[in-house]
Structure 1
Amino acid sequence: MNLIRRLGMEKRLLAVAVAGALAAPAIAFAQSTVQIYGRMTYEWGRADQGPDRPDLDFSDGPGGSAIGFKGVEQLGGGLSAWFQCESSADITGFDTSSICTRNSAVGFRGGFGNVFAGKWDTPMKRALGLGTVGAEATGILGMSFLPFGGAGGTDISDVGVNSLTRHRWKRRESNLMTYETPKFGGFQVMGAVTGANRTSTANDNVDPNNQQARLWSLAGTYVNGPLGIGLAYERHNEVGFGQTPAGTQDLDDRAWGASVGYRFGPVRVGATYLDSKYETGPGIELKKKSWTIGADWRVGGPHMLSVQYASIGDSKGNSPIGVGGTSNGSVAASGGDTGGDAWSLGYTYAFSKRTTVRLGYVRVDNDSNTNTYRVGNTANLLDDGENTDGWAFLVKHNF
């Protein structure tokens, strides 16, 4: 009998010990949560590359293909720490970038707002996004090149007077420090600045006072129900490193943008406007203005029709050179007939809230004195005034 009672007591003690061991990790991690999320996209299509050239038969993984991890820890007193690590998930295998190369940061949230540092979309890009409706941003169906110089990841510390990304205003910037105010009745202000991670080299003809390329971005947004409004200003300081003669490196680019989006019933409409200026030398400036308008119409059930029109005006100012090199959406030197137009039309079928397919068409027209605007990742156009078009089939799945 004593032996039985002893064995029973040992079983109860063992059960308590096992329960305690299993509960310890739960207690240790009770204040932390980690979520895995992502998007998979695949695009296939054909695009015109200009006269006397074959069409481009192209597959890509545009539209934000990514896999990410994000988490939050409650620190008490309304303060929380958070992180996000988002990496490219290009199923075609073309993108071999490392981890945390998309929106990735670590920060703190509280009654004061949100402060964080990492690689993130700039306030300018986020403000313009409220009115960007009716088209994809990148890929063959991408419509961000003509009005905004492109969208996505880039680094201001790598920008020079002849950089292929200097003219880009929808940026995802590395080494970005951002502050967001709390939202007051739908209003929010956000500001960001980059660290100037650049050291001078022996080949740089750099003024000692003008060595650090830096981005500043400020935006105010209002989002309330079906209405979204964004207003932003962005400045790229000292982007002329490597420029000669000495003393001409202190070149600044700046732009302000506005956007508005509104949804009424099954229709969402949006518009954007961008006014940009580039210094290409002391007292020399290049000016551009662009705008977009678009709509998404859910015509019934899983069906949606989309349309967007984009226009960019002539290069104004007194600059004998352009910016952006040969990249898509680069800015031609000052002069007449140096603008362009683009439009897109798309049909989307939603299998569910997470899985959609899209068939779309894009056309890009250059004015008679420029050839800088084209479809997606096609080759540089050979002649001024060329027009190109393309179509594509796009699959998206969110998880």
Structure 2
Amino acid sequence: MKAGTQVAIALGLLGASAAAQAQTNVTIYGIMDAAFVGERGGSAGHVNKITSGAGSASRLGFRGTEQLGDGLSAFFTLESGPRIDTGALDANNVLFNRQAFVGLKGKAGSVALGRQYTPWHQALAQVADPFGTGYAGTSKNLFPDSGANVRTSNTVTYSAPTVAGVTVDLAYSLGELAHSADGRQYGGAIGYANGPLNLRLAYNNKNAETLQPGGRTGRNTLLAANYDLKFVKLFAGFNVDKGFNSAPFGNANNPYGGVRPTASTDGRELLLGISAPIGAGTLMASVMHKDDRTAFNQDANAWGIGYLYALSKRSGVYAAYGHINNKNGAGYTVANNSESGSGNTGYNLGLRHTF
């Protein structure tokens, strides 16, 4: 082969490689979060530990997009949950336990298939809760933000294009059991964001895996809002739970001993909160109320406060405190982003780095 031909081939390969790079984008991202956590008030007594992901769950992820032409693109996300305290995974034998999906995005919106967040959880974390469902003040303390309410496998989602500030998200998860309705879950959210105002209404419906035709359903309906006044941001969330397993306890292991509490199948949760820039950091605070409308009347009140101090654009230290007042034998515990907690009081002192 002549030298000129070799050079031409090499230049052609370089050009093809450059074109491919221009069309494809893959990003490695993550959060590394570790904290000293203290828990009090449960039958386990005083618990002190180093925890991974108290503020924001630690994660290592890969996301990518490829431009396919005519406004159409392919995308994917693979996200794992490493524990900084031990080096283990959040879920045994599941590498990408947090998110794993692939999809297409075009002028008519985007469709994705795989393991994904529910629209209900996204409304709680992104709109209603000043703690973003993390730290000792998390909305998880009273809101049913755990298990399949947070993310689901075997899921198809659709997100419509934003029009005049209006967003629409839909999700359907296949139970993949003998009876098609068993284990299935569906939900959606409609939102409006314009200037300082952010509103979102979300719904979640899940069938228990009873292996009986039709199963038993649990439903969650959340109205979330925040309003940015610049010097302070106001947050609010109101949620209605109805039906079997609609509001399971974050810690279902009877953390206070004695008579085991009964998870509500007819309840309401209310959250009011604020966040405010103070110095080089952000102050977060909220108060919550659980109204159990069953015969057990196991209500609860909770409050939390926290401060995230920025060391840089990507690193920060934080402190947070949360407390719950359980009534009539209720079993709610002070959680954080990655753990359900063991008592009615908890605090975190941590360090978070994002990349």
Match of 1:19 in 2: 11
**Cα shift at 1:150:** 2.9
- Between stretches 94-103 and 303-312, larger displacement belongs to 94-103
Deviations 1:218-255 (CA, angstroms, capped at 9, x unpaired): 11011223221000122112x1616xxx88x7311112
Equivalent of 1:308, from 263, 272, 286? 286
Q: Does 2:311 match 1:347?
A: no
What is the one-letter code of the residue matched to 2:162? K
Secondary structure at the residue paired with 1:272? strand
* Alignment partner of 1:148 out of 140, 143, 150: 143
Structure 2 segments unaligned to the other structure (5+ residues): 246-263
Distance 1:94 1:380, change over 3 A: same
User: Corresponding residue for 1:326?
Assistant: none
In the superposition, relative to structure 1, how do residues 258 and 21 fare at CA in structure 2: closer, same or farther (>3 Å)? same
Q: Does the 8 Å contact 2:267/2:292 carry over to 1?
A: yes
1:370 corresponds to = 329
Equivalent residues in 2 for 1:121-200, closer than 5 Å? 121-135=117-131, 137-138=133-134, 141=136, 143-151=138-146, 154-155=147-148, 169=149, 171-199=150-178
C-alpha distance in 2 between matches for 1:335 and 1:77: 58
User: How many Å separate the matches in 2 of 1:308 and 1:15?
Assistant: 66
Question: Is the 8 Å Cα contact of residues 130 and 230 (structure 1) preserved in structure 2?
Answer: no
Instruction: State how far apart, in whole Å, the 2-side matches of 1:30 and 1:136 are.
Output: 35
Offset at 1:104?
Answer: 2.4
Cα separation, partners in 2 of 1:251 and 1:64, compared to 1, 3 Å: same
Matches within 5 A, 1:1-399: 14-50=6-42, 53-62=44-53, 63-92=56-85, 93-97=87-91, 98-135=94-131, 137-138=133-134, 141=136, 143-151=138-146, 154-155=147-148, 169=149, 171-199=150-178, 212-237=182-207, 239=208, 241=210, 250-279=215-244, 286-300=265-279, 302-316=280-294, 334-336=295-297, 338-367=298-327, 369-376=328-335, 377=339, 388-399=344-355
Tell me, yes or no, if the aligned pair for 1:71 and 1:82 is still in contact at 8 Å: yes
What is the Cα deviation at residue 355 of structure 1? 1.0
Letter in 2 for 1:393: L
Q: Which segment drifts farther, 218-227 or 93-102?
A: 93-102
Compared with structure 1, are the counterparts of its residues 54 and 287 closer, same or farther at alpha carbon in structure 2 (3 Å cutoff)?
Answer: closer
Task: Classify 1:294/1:66 alpha carbon distance in 2 versus 1 (closer, same or farther; 3 Å).
Answer: same
- Paired with 1:240 and 1:110, the residues of 2 have a C-alpha distance of 35
SS across alignment from 2:198: strand
CA positional deviation for 1:39:
1.0
- Give, in whole Å, the separation in 2 of the partners of 1:372 and 1:94: 29
User: Structure 1 residues 286, 45: CA separation in 2 closer, same or farther (over 3 Å shift)?
Assistant: closer
Q: Which amino acid is 2:217 matched to?
A: D
The unaligned stretches of length 5 or more in structure 1 are 1-9, 156-168, 200-208, 317-333, 382-387
The alpha-carbon distance between structure 1 residues 265 and 145, as it changes in their structure 2 partners (threshold 3 A), is closer
Give, in angstroms, the shift of residue 354 of structure 1: 1.2
Contact 2:137 2:321 in 1 (8 A): no
Distance 1:138 1:128, change over 3 A: closer
Which has more radius of gyration? 1
Aligned sequence identity (%): 28
TM-score normalised by L of structure 2: 0.84
CA–CA distance in 2 between the matches of 1:351 and 1:286? 44
**1:128 positional shift:** 2.5
Tell me the SS of whatever aligns to 1:34: strand
Kept in 1, the 8 Å contact 2:142–2:332? The answer is no
> Does the 8 A contact of 2:82 with 2:88 survive in 1?
no
Q: Which amino acid aligns with 1:220?
A: I
The CA deviation at 1:195 is 1.0
SS in 1 for 2:296: coil
Report the secondary structure of 1:145's partner residue.
helix
Query: After superposition, what is the alpha-carbon deviation per residue over 1:22-77, rounded to whole angstroms, capped at 9, x for unaligned?
Result: 334223444211111111111212110436x5310122112121111111111111
The TM-score with structure 1 as length reference comes to 0.75
CA distance in 1, matches of 2:5, 2:209: 73
Report the alpha carbon displacement of residue 96 of structure 1 after superposing the two structures with TM: 4.8
The code of the aligned residue for 1:113 comes to G
